[in-house]
Structures are given as structure tokens and as C-alpha cells.
Amino acid sequence: MSSLNLDDFTDLIERPDGGTRRDAEARRERQIVPPGSLGRLDDLGEWLAAAQGAVPVRPVDRPRVVLFAGDHGVAGLGVSARPAGSAVELVRDVLEGARPVSVLARRLGVPVRVVDMALDCDAEALPAEVVRYRVRRGSGRIDIEDALTAEEAEAAFRAGVAVADEEADSGTDLVVLGDLSVGGTTAAGVLVAALCGTDASVVTGRGGIAIDDLAWMRKCAAIRDALRRARPVLGDQLQLLATVGGADLTAMTGFLLQAAVRKMPVILDGVVGAACALVAQRIAFRAPDWWLAGQASGEPGQAKALDRMALEPLLDHGVTVGEGTGALLALPLVQAAAALAAELPEKPGDDEKD
């Protein structure tokens, strides 16, 4: 029996401050550029003010990229363009600055944190700070077995909560959330299909590196089989994650919920983050008010999940690489919205006109 009570998050998570948002809207009415003329930047600025509880909005100057990493046993079925168990190569490339997210983070001056939850490699192969929260080596093949034991799922969830607390305590004011996984989009597809009550074919995409038709059919079949195992446990979100999620997805779900508790905004990236957000929404319905959808990845599962949560992507550039790259591209837009909301001067008063 788990000692973790997910219902607590419903009570702990508050919505961004409505009164502050109204004050931000009033301030926007007084600025020299007509309200609405900046498009979604107006809404973003007001959302940030509400999230911060501050008017004028403070600059977003301490963002951080947080990437949860793991290998998924289902990748052994040939559902990914990458070999099963090879996510450690992605992690090494990120740490060495050789992945797209690394290049963009370096250019934007944003630190990157990688958290290994279930990579299929020896823990000694990576720095201690990366493997500190590892739950297991790889995850179960979700079409025929559980991804995690109940104890592992709780440990992974608590790890995500702990990472969120660490970021909030260190002064991080916004997180760009992503994953480094092989087989992760298959697990994400199962979660989305289960929670949206749809079939495997509706949520099965081509992954970060587009797979061919045969691999897509294998992926669709794997999601279909895992979906049969997921449906009986839909009423228990932690058990759902243990059954068809994985340690990285479970940790991301815990992270998203605790980030909302700590009033720390998060930009979501692709289908994996969207799937975890959908699970988190089932646990605490107010949590999505603290998240932004950074980009449309083109994955049908992501589109389905974001539509269910009423989150509209900020960008649509066809970025499918994952690892937080698309979400990081949206960060300058959010920072621009904060700057405009805070720094545009107000219109002269009527007495000054006379």
C-alpha cells in the first residue's frame, strides 16, 4: 500500500492569482500600444503576472531546462528509429553540448539539468548528479508487463517532486521541461489514448526521428496491446504510470504537480510532456493553469492531450527532435512578453493632454 496520497495535490495547488491578472489587464489598458495589438504576447504577459503575483511582471531571468531520461523496454519491439537502450547516448551528447537543446541553451544562457530515472546503462557511466534519482535500469515492456513496480513508481514520483522543490528553492523562475528517452513516445501514446478514451491509431505518431510505415505499425500494435493493460487501472493514476508509463514519465508527472504547488511555471515540449501533463491534470485539475505548451510537435498524441487540457502551443515550426528543443525555442517569446508588459510606458493622462 502506497503512503503517497495524490489527492493532496488538489488542495495544495492554487490557480494563478486572478486579482493580479486583473491588475495586469488594467495596466495593459493604460499602455501606449493598444491592448490586443501584441497578439498572444498580451495574454502571456498577463498570465506571467498572475503566476508571479506581481504587477508589473518581473523578468524571467532564471529559467532552466530540466530533462528526465530513461529507456523503455517496449523499444525492443522496433517502435523507434533509435536502438533499444540507447538513450544514454542522447544524455552524453547533451552533457557534452552536442544536441540541439544544448546549442540553444548555450546561446540563450540557460542551464540544462539531466535527471536519469531509468537509463539502460551502468550508473557509473554518468556523473553522480545525473544518476542520483535513478529508480531502475530500463523499464518493463508495457505491452506484456508493467513498466514499474508500485514501489518504483512511488520512488520515481517522489523524485520528480524533489527535483521541482530543488529548482524552486534555488530560485528557478521558469522550467523548460523535456525528456531524453527511447520508446518514450510509445508509452506517452498509451497514456493519452487511455485518458482520452481513444484508439491506438489515433495517437500513434512517427517519433522524434520519423519511423517508416512498418515501424509505425509495430508501434501502433504495441500501444494497442498496452492500452488493454492500461484501461483497468484508469482510476489510479500512480498505478497507471507504473503499468504503462515508466520511471521518467512518472517523475515528470510528479515534477509538474509539485511545480504547480510551488507556483513555478513550466513550458511543455512534445508528446511525452503532454502525456505526463494529462495524467497530472487527472490528479489536480488546477495544475494546467501553471503550464504553457511551447510548440506543436506534429505528434497526434500531443495534439489530443493539449486539446483536452485547452493548452494552445506558442509555436509551430515542425520541430520533432524532442529533448525540450521546441519548448526552449518558445522561451524568448515568453521573456519578450514579460519585458513588454513591464517596460512599455503608459499613455499620458487626460490632464497632460489638455
H or E segment and range at residue 167: helix 150-169
Is residue 312 flagged as an active site residue? no
Catalytic residue among 154, 323, 343, 346: 323
Q: Which residues pair with 295 in a beta bridge?
A: 315
- Where are the extended beta strands (E) located within the chain? 63-71, 112-118, 174-182, 266-268, 291-293
**Cα–Cα distance, 23 to 26 (Å, whole number):** 5
**Cα–Cα distance, 135 to 317 (Å, whole number):** 35
Burial class (CB in 10 A: 0-12, 13-18, 19+), 23: middle
**Cα–Cα distance, 106 to 312 (Å, whole number):** 27
Burial class (CB in 10 A: 0-12, 13-18, 19+), 282: middle
Q: Catalytic site residues?
A: 323
